[in-house]
Amino acid sequence: MQSDLETYIVQVESPESQISTQSSRMDLESWYKSFLPKTIETAGLDEKPRLIYSYHNVIIGFAARLSAKQVKEIEMTPGFISAWRQRILFLHTTHTPSFLGLQQNIRLWRDANYGKGVIIGVLDTGIT
């Protein structure tokens, strides 16, 4: 069933022949696809793993739609390092004044008019 598929980030070892050229990126793409298991039969429906994204800079790896059974199969492949299931994390706010040790009516915070008129925003939602 397609509902059994989840997104995983799979980290693999670099192929020995990899060099940093455009043609090697194509070789890297083939290397990633070699980790994807063949179609797995489940309850009469074929579940085909799908490559979603290929990583080329920070890690050697890829993101793919896989079932837990397919991940187990990939784990047996030479060159496999690890796999992480996608998690949705929600944004949180912090209590910046207390984190910074600022107290009302005392020194810097009071002298800076409690930050009135100042807007500072940092929004890090990760990588999609």
Pick the residue with more confidence: 9 or 125? 9
In a domain, 104, yes or no: no
Quickly list DSSP for 44-113: TEEE--EEEEEE-SSSSEEEEEE-HHHHHHHHTSTTEEEEEE----------HHHHTT--TTSHHHHHTG
**Mean pLDDT value across residues 49-67:** 87
Pick the residue with more confidence: 19 or 60? 60
In a domain, 8, yes or no: yes
Structure confidence at residue 44 (pLDDT)? 45
| Token pair recorded at residue 117 | 């008129």
In a domain, 42, yes or no: yes
In a domain, 125, yes or no: no
- Positive or negative, the Cα torsion across 67, 73, 79, 80? positive
Partners of residue 40 on adjacent β-strands: 47
Structure confidence at residue 24 (pLDDT)? 56
Partners of residue 80 on adjacent β-strands: 12
In the chain, how many domains are there? Answer: 1
In a domain, 107, yes or no: no
In a domain, 121, yes or no: no
Structure confidence at residue 57 (pLDDT)? 80
In a domain, 70, yes or no: yes
Confidence bin at 94 (pLDDT 50/70/90): low
Is the pLDDT score of 2 beyond 60? no
In a domain, 51, yes or no: yes
What percent of the chain stands above pLDDT 90?
A: 23
- What is the domain-level CATH number for residue 32? 3.30.70
**At a CB cut-off of 8 Å and minimum separation 6, what does 98 contact?**
none
**Mean pLDDT value across residues 55-70:** 89
Is the pLDDT score of 115 beyond 50? yes
- Output the average pLDDT for the chain: 76
Structure confidence at residue 17 (pLDDT)? 45
Q: Rounded to two decimals, what is the model's pTM? A: 0.59
Domain that holds residue 27: 2-85
